[in-house]
Structures are given as C-alpha cells and as structure tokens.
C-alpha cells in the first residue's frame, strides 16, 4: 500500500494490483481545544472518508448515496459495493470495491501508534507474529500493526459471515518489508476463497486493508 496522492487533509492510498477497489484516508484538523476531535464528529469523519472512497471508485452520484448501519452496526453500502470504514482521531479511512470484481468483503482499520498499545501485545501478537517482526521494532508499533491487520480481517468477513471472531482466529503471514500479509482463518468460520491484507505506516498511524475474493461461505 502506498500513497497515490497526499495533502494536508489526508491521502489517497493505492493498494497492490490485487485489490480492485479504492481507499481514502482523511485527517481532521481542530477539535475540543485539547487536540482531540469532538466525539460527535468522528462518525461524520468516517462517512466523509467513505464518500471520498466511493467518489474514487466511480459511478454516477455514488458518493452521494447515504451510508447507514444495520442492526449489527455494519455500514450499509450502495448496491453492488463492498466497503469498510474506520476512524482513530485524527484519522478516518474507508475502502470500497465493486462486488462484480469478485470481491466479497472489504475491511479497513486505521490506528494511531501510541505507547500504551504495547500492552496489547499478549492479546493480538501471536507467536508467529513476534518471530516475524523486525528486530528492534518498538513493541507498540508491532502490536498496532497486528491489531490493525486483525481488525481489518474481522471487518472484512463479519458482514458476510456474521460469526464472531477471536484474535487467534486470523493467522497472519506478514511481510514487514513490503507491508503485506497472507491470511488464513480458523475453519470454524466457514470462509472459502482467498483473503489478502496490506498495511502502511503514515505520519504516526497505521492503515490496514483486507479483502476477500472468490469462493463462497460454507454456512
């Protein structure tokens, strides 16, 4: 994943050729006087990223279609679109792809790398993750990447399968040099097809993307 275009308010991310969709990452400026955005605005910030991603995806008026939420809190995308939204102040990210391209699900997560995230290590960094991590990488960075990747995987498959997941259910084969990860899910989830993931560190934040192609659920 790389930045296709950057500006003071965010960037358009370009995933590998394997992902046929579009990603938008926005930065919000201002807040409550202490550098934090008003919580009431975070939802709209995420929706603004979604509109940006839909605009990049193309289609007449697509970015003007309202994005609601279903009973499980999952965003309801326009017909024929799979997508995902995330926000972690001051960032918001969204990814979208046409289902006609073979994409069944899309998940995106953005997280600000914070020192306290080192405490997530025992929950989200599996032994294989720890072994593959770059030597000397800060614990909070490794934990944030693993958290963001697994969160993106969850947000990719849950809207389709509607089956709860635990952190170890997603096994990652992460290439830290290029920012990619192979994904294998626990068989109990009944997820056929292929899952791929990517991540990028940008200005103190990590953006992770997962997409699911081909196959069908065994449910």
The answer on whether 38 is annotated among ligand-binding residues is no
Q: Can you name the residues that pair with 19 across neighbouring β-strands?
A: none
The answer on whether 47 is annotated among ligand-binding residues is yes
> For 66, which DSSP code?
-
For residue 55, the tally of other CB atoms under 10 A from its CB is 16
The answer on whether 219 is annotated among ligand-binding residues is no
CA distance 144 to 206: 7
CA distance 185 to 190: 9
The answer on whether 17 is annotated among ligand-binding residues is no
CA distance 149 to 71: 24
The answer on whether 116 is annotated among ligand-binding residues is no
SS3 205: strand
Structure tokens at 205: 């934040």
The answer on whether 155 is annotated among ligand-binding residues is yes
The answer on whether 192 is annotated among ligand-binding residues is no
The answer on whether 200 is annotated among ligand-binding residues is no
Which residue positions form the known binding site? Answer: 39, 47, 86-87, 109, 111, 151, 155
Binding-site entries for CoA: 39, 47, 86-87, 109, 151, 155
Binding site, annotated residues for Mg(2+): 109, 111
């Amino acid at each position: 994943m790389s930045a296709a275009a950057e500006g003071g308010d965010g960037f358009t991310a370009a995933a590998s050729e394997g992902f046929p969709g579009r990603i938008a990452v926005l930065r919000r400026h201002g807040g409550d006087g202490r550098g934090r955005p008003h919580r009431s605005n975070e939802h709209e910030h995420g929706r603004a990223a979604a509109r940006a991603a839909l605009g990049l995806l193309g289609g007449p008026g697509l970015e003007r279609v309202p994005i609601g939420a279903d009973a499980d809190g999952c965003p309801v995308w326009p017909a024929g679109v799979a997508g995902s939204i995330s926000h972690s102040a001051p960032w918001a990210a969204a990814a979208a792809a046409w289902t006609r391209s073979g994409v069944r699900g899309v998940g995106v997560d953005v997280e600000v790398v914070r020192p306290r995230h080192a405490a997530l290590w025992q929950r989200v960094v599996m032994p294989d993750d720890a072994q593959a991590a770059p030597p000397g990488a800060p614990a909070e960075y490794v934990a944030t990447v693993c958290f963001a990747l697994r969160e993106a995987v969850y947000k990719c498959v849950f809207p389709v399968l509607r089956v709860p997941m635990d952190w170890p259910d997603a096994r990652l084969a992460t290439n830290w040099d290029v920012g990619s990860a192979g994904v294998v899910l626990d068989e109990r989830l009944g997820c056929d097809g292929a899952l791929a993931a990517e991540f990028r560190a940008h200005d103190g934040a990590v953006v992770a993307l997962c997409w699911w192609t081909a196959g069908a659920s065994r449910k």
